[in-house]
């Protein structure tokens, strides 16, 4: 199946970002369905596209093309009637996601693919109320979706292999880097890696080995520099598996293996220190620093992803 008609359910942060991604292909029309269409639905997409233009990563003509291929509606039945591929970006609440897909079944074609952008929930469980769970697949995008190439394609228990392959092809076509997660496991692939590092980072702070800013520096100016270019397994092959075995034998007993969130993290949350949201987390943040951090991350991502292509 060639996907030409994509529907995004939900017009929040991820929904509009995904609309922009799919509309990057000249032969794909995107409909964003939300229960209420906002006054200026294109505004966040225009802001993203203008940032790309300002950083020489997009032309004005391409911007107009993307915008022309996106429409917004509150009419669910009309939006999904001829859809090839529907992706839900509704809140991370199991019941909402399950009902969203179950409600679609009588309204769509027999071969329409239902993709879920859940961050952590099981696509198998999300498909439980569907009569055709074989067409439900996990597609975990990362924020900001127009800049992060990775999309984890999660094969749920009953997902048809063809559905996985069509989804992989579609994402490659719109310039993403899809990776297949063969099992429906919590955290899929990349969040398992990310949170394993997070657990160790918090443990080091709790144990007085280094403060949060120092841990961040050690990551940013050391292994973090390699990772966009050199994965863990390629790195092991480069340095030698015998060396890796010696190091793991020595160091693994000392690494954090807690099964619950860190005490330090819970203490910050209890004090209302939530990070950028409240101006204080592990560090204190002014609004100017917050704006700078958000903006410089986006500009950095534009630079590095240009080289990745
Ligand atoms: N924000 C992120 O960084 C991120 C990253 C990856 C995946 N996700 C996942 O993407 C999904 C959407 O996240 P978001 O950040 O865009 O959320 P959001 O809150 O910005 O948007 C949610 C959208 O769902 C709509 N909505 C609210 N209640 C609804 C209901 N009962 N039925 C249907 N629609 C409803 C809202 O109006 C809004 O348009 C979540 O599953 C989230 O876990 C988020």
**Residue 77 CB burial class (10 angstroms; 0-12, 13-18, ≥19):** exposed
Alpha-carbon gap, residue 62 to 89, rounded angstroms: 25
Ligand 1 neighbourhood includes 38 CB (under 6 angstroms): no
Q: How far is the CA of 195 from the centre of ligand 1 (A)?
A: 22
Residue 79 DSSP symbol: H
Which residues are paired to 275 by β-bridges? Answer: 280
Q: Output the six-digit token pair for 122.
A: 């099981």
- 86 Cβ contact partners less than 8 Å away, ≥ 6 residues apart: 6, 7, 8, 9, 80, 104, 108, 112, 113, 114, 115
Distance in angstroms (rounded) separating the CA atoms of residues 191 and 114: 22
Q: Exposed, middle or buried by CB within 10 Å (0-12, 13-18, 19+), for 228?
A: exposed
Residue 180 C-beta-side C-alpha neighbours within 13 Å: 12
Q: What is the pLDDT along the chain (309 residues), one digit of tens a residue?
A: 899 999 999 999 999 999 999 999 999 999 999 999 999 999 999 999 999 999 999 999 999 999 999 999 999 999 999 999 999 999 999 999 999 999 999 999 999 999 999 999 999 999 999 999 999 999 999 999 999 999 999 999 999 999 999 999 999 999 999 999 999 999 999 999 999 999 999 999 999 999 999 999 999 999 999 998 999 999 999 999 999 999 999 999 999 999 999 999 999 999 999 999 999 999 999 999 999 999 999 999 999 988 775
Distance 147 CA to ligand 1 centre (A): 18
User: How far, in Å, from the CA of 90 to the mean position of ligand 1?
Assistant: 4
Beta strands in 78-203 (DSSP E): 85-88, 113-116, 136-141, 150-154, 177-181
106 DSSP assignment: G
Comparing CA positions, the residue from 161, 304, 298 lying closest to residue 226 is 304
Ligand 1: does its nearest atom lie under 6 Å from the Cβ of 117? yes
Does the Cβ of 10 fall within 6 Å of ligand 1? yes
Q: What pLDDT score was predicted for residue 55?
A: 93
- Token couple for 31: 């409909």
Q: What is the pLDDT of residue 19?
A: 98
Cβ pair 31, 6 in contact under 8 A: yes
For 24-157, strand residue ranges (E) read: 29-33, 70-73, 85-88, 113-116, 136-141, 150-154
For the Cβ of 103 lying below 6 angstroms from any atom of ligand 1, the answer is: no
Of the candidates 86, 83, 164, 158, the one whose C-alpha atom is nearest the C-alpha of residue 128 is: 158
Atom of ligand 1 nearest to the CA of 90: 24
Q: Whose CA is nearest to atom 8 of ligand 1?
A: 119
Q: Is 104 in the pocket of ligand 1 (CB under 6 A)?
A: no
Q: Identify the bridge partners of residue 284 per DSSP, sorted by sequence position.
A: 280
Cβ-contact 263, 206 below 8 angstroms: yes
3-state secondary structure (DSSP) of residue 219: helix
CA of 91 to the centre of ligand 1 (A): 4
Between CA 230 and CA 233 the distance in angstroms is: 8
Whole-structure pTM value: 0.94
119 Cβ inside 6 Å of ligand 1? yes
Ligand 1 centre and the CA of 53: distance in Å?
Answer: 27
């Amino acid at each position: 199946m060639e996907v030409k008609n994509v529907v995004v359910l939900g017009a929040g942060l991820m929904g509009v970002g995904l609309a922009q991604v799919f509309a990057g292909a000249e032969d794909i029309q995107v409909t964003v369905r939300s229960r209420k269409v906002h006054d200026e639905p294109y505004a966040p997409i225009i802001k993203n596209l203008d940032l790309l233009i300002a950083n020489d990563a997009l032309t004005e003509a391409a911007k107009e093309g993307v915008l022309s291929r996106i429409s917004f509606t509150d009419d669910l039945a009309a939006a999904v009637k001829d859809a090839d591929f529907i992706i839900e970006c509704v809140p991370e609440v199991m019941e909402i996601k399950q009902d969203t897909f179950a409600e679609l079944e009588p309204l769509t074609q027999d071969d329409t693919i239902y993709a879920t952008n859940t961050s952590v929930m099981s696509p198998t469980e999300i498909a439980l109320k569907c009569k055709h769970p074989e067409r439900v697949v996990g597609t975990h995008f990362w924020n900001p979706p127009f800049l992060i190439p990775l999309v984890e394609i999660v094969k749920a228990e009953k997902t048809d292999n063809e559905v996985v392959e069509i989804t992989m092809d579609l994402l490659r076509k719109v310039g993403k880097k899809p990776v297949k997660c063969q099992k429906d496991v919590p955290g899929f692939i990349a969040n398992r890696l990310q949170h394993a590092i997070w657990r160790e980072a918090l443990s080091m702070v709790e144990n007085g080995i280094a403060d949060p800013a120092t841990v961040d520096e050690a990551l940013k100016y050391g292994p973090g520099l390699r990772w966009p270019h050199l994965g863990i397994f390629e790195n092991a092959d480069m340095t030698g598996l015998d060396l890796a075995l010696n190091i793991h034998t020595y160091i693994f007993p000392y690494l954090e293996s807690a099964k619950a969130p860190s005490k330090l993290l819970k203490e910050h949350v209890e004090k209302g220190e939530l990070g950028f949201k409240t101006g204080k987390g592990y560090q204190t943040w002014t609004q100017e620093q917050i704006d700078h951090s958000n903006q410089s991350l986006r500009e950095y991502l534009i630079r590095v992803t240009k080289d990745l292509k």
